[in-house]
Structure 1
Amino acid sequence: MQTPERIIRLKTVLARTGLSRSTIYRKIAEGTFPAQLKISTNGAGWRESDINRWVAHPVEWRAVNDNEDPGGKAGNHDAG
């Protein structure tokens, strides 16, 4: 049986990445950090596997993400 995907909250993401809150949200907007998942009306979190992959290869994360999510949220930014 496969273990369900673990969702982690901002405090844990901050501790694991060493980034500030503002840097995380800037990187999400740039497409260079995993986006949050909405888990309730007022709550959001990240897939632990996404954060682990980013920590292992932060510079390469965008390319991996673009390959996995063609036409999705990654790289889908307005030019102006």
Structure 2
Amino acid sequence: MSTSILRLPAVIARTGLRRSSIYLRIKQGDFRPVKLGPRAIGFLETEIDAWIEERGRARTKNSVSGC
């Protein structure tokens, strides 16, 4: 199975996060960029999809517990 590398605009569209929030998550270690060149980064599609799925699981868990 091949993995695609998503550039920042695609990650913004897919996650609904703003650019500054994505960079904050990089700093916190939630997102790990892939260096594509001297001034270019991307993100593994599988890692972004996993992050989105985790948000869905966290939402489901919180709604079940009544939070």
Relative to its length, the structure with more strand (as a share) is 2
Q: Tell me, yes or no, if structure 1 residue 42 matches structure 2 residue 16.
A: no
SS in 1 for 2:12: helix
Which residue of structure 1 aligns with residue 55 of structure 2? 58
Q: For structure 2, list consecutive stretches of 5 or more residues without a partner in the other structure.
A: 58-67
Relative to its length, the structure with more helix (as a share) is 2
Which residue of structure 2 aligns with residue 17 of structure 1? 15
- Displacement over 2 Å in runs of 4+: none
What number of residue pairs does the alignment pair up? 57
The structure with the larger Rg is 2
Deviations 1:37-56 (A, max 9, x none): 00122211000000000011
Over the aligned positions, Cα root-mean-square deviation in angstroms equals 1.8
Higher relative contact order (CA 8 A, sep 6+): 2
SS in 1 for 2:38: coil
Output the TM-score relative to the length of structure 1.
0.63
Identity of aligned residues (%): 35
The aligned amino acid for 2:51 is W
